[in-house]
Chain A
């Protein structure tokens, strides 16, 4: 490769030598010198081609050619900086957007957990889930502790089985307490995952025995750095949690974040320590653990599933919760377990955003497609301008494949540079998206690095783009007939045909950008619908205050309830007297925060279910929910008095039918901790949404908090404030401290909270809107380019028309007709494709059908107007053509 020049010289000399000898021989035959030379050259049958054939036999020829082509391409591109900049910028945007979205997909979907041999990990689940039975704590809460213990003692599929739960721990006391991400782990979790401590030691099975002393904690690398400043004296340092003092015994390595992708744990405690919070370890209806295991050598997921299915009856018989009505207990006994691959851990993010990300990847793909179409058009135009050059090179013997490759080299270079810049941009974009999705309540800690998958994806995108916009022009050019091209003297001969290709490309761009516009408008309108949806209550000025009792005091259930209700009443009293608070009420549920409590009810005949919310008086006034009939909860609804309930209108319609609702009774179906009870209906209230803004209005029954069957924690308080919210919050926090030093408080401004919960919808609206605008802009540029090109190539025709008396509007219309035709074709195809595309987005929409006619119309009008402008500018210019000048050019 490096001796290239020398080899070239030798080749040259060798062939020249032969040529000279041949000429001499011809001279000897009596030809005159000139004829002798010509005969010799003819005999050689194209010296340059022979040279090329000789070069081809050298193995490195292609490397050499590629290097030379790239150098040549770089020179050509440097000569037209404007074109190059536009091309690289649009490619970088396209590739960057694609790579960024792919990085996120890769991070939440494809990457494996950073532990040894992650493919051996399996997640134990109940086939079809547990159907919301009992109390669920957090995402992926698949098992109760008794079930986990039964599985651990019976399973033979895993060399190490472990359980965990991701939750919040409060560190410190009272007002100084702070929330950290806590991880309950079984004793063999770290051993089974083969996590090697960075400092100290991690838990072993000996740390997780029933009745263990709450003494040791393991912390994450990030927490060690953040909370302890990375100090070497961290081992033996203490943390205050659950009113107890814990010693830090070890630090996990930096790459280990836990098992849920998108979350990073701070502090880990053995599961046995959960006994300090109550009888969590023995409760058979509180589902809070995720169970996983590392397969024994030689075991497959399928074999483990069989095994888990086989031990299921024993596990569920041994752990059946008491207190359920008979058929719920029957359902429980019929549960069957299975194993699922868990090499990438579990992730709420994955389930929430997986679909959205695929959707966005498709959209960015379309944007890139439009960018490619634009470039293809530009490359075609450039190829046309270079037709003569190519023709000459074909004539002197360059092979067609070499010419095609040389032109492709330009595309390759553009795509390469675009991909590199795009990849660099992608990291910023994906970080920005992660930042957008992070809310104070749900921090999203997602590592989206450039790993080999992302790299392969970017490279593949680059190559595909290059082929998409570069191949067709390159092949076309290489097929040029040298004679015709040279003869035409630089004027294009195949203009008409090429214009057809250009028109098709532009029509395609119009249809693709219509798809993106329709999708973007659908997402934007969804967000609007969600934000303006009728929730059935007044949303402004609402603050949710939650309280936690950190005293760690214990007692019998009745004592606990009495004490907690007294504290609750004192808190409510303090809140109500806070300046700026209009009204306030205690409640077990905060609306639209995702939390939910459903209980079965017995009907005559049959059974149904309803949401149950336990409230104090003034709840309806505070939220502005109208009481349609009957009365509110009041102080006379005592724990031991007549059990009463208010129901909403949906409840009445579904279960009570026509006739007076008040005075009817509701009989609940027993559940652990919630024995069967009969409530008399004392009032009917307006409908509201419940756990989620995206859902409809469910039947809800409201029961006085005093009649709650098992109060074991402080409940929240709903506040309607008229004053400034930060002032009210600060004052309530202070007053809560007056009630007891051991009360931790937390606040959520309702409107902020709603917006945060709609973060996915807002992300889709913003990003799809951005991509759609980008697409429309690119398509408009493409359209403008083609129309302008057409105007130039028909300049003389237009000149003649004007000379013969065509009017200015006539010419404008002539050109616009062209634009209109292209747009019309694009729109017709685009609408068809949009209908298909929108259907796949249906699950992400709210309050409108994917085939929403106004949305599609709006998109069409928007695109038509933009396209009209893109066509009007060159059309106007065409009508200004000076006929004399145009004709003189001829």
Chain B
């Protein structure tokens, strides 16, 4: 059965299935969609995922669009090294932290990222093009997000609250990694793949809060993942400066 992954950069939600497939050793057809050109809202892609969100995995006739459950599917459906822990307690811990990453940490971190990276990158284009692009977005929640990013409608209070949450979540993660080697416990799992996609650039974007002194466990955890061949292979597929930020994780010679 064919495996096709529609994705953007190895980053955030797109990077989750990319790194998972690489770790499993699954060959797949890569369909790169340029988020900044709104490829994900064009008819060709809406025929695959009517919600217009990326990533999407097409396995034979099956279409999967929720990135975290998608990672579990890849682990369940394909041969290769297991990426879920064997015990139910560790599996629960992996899932608990993935939800914390997806629904608490990531929305705040991405609001900051969209306000400083995505917004300015698309704002170079004429306003009427941007308004037309918004009209093609299927989901109301995504239209709101894009409108805010395109026209820089984030309030100072929203950004300040997002920064507070990023700092809070960074501290919680450091506390967790001071007790456990990996997110789920003793072994590298989908929880680490998820967290790495969220946090690989934290030492660059949050240098005052994520560094050798304040978060030594996070730093070491990120470097251990960066040194995995699957991570090298996945981030080599990046085309923008955003995914190039991963170089911050090179160890000093």
Do A and B belong to a common assembly? Answer: no
Residues of B that sit less than 8 Å from A by CB: none
Residues of A that sit less than 8 Å from B by CB: none
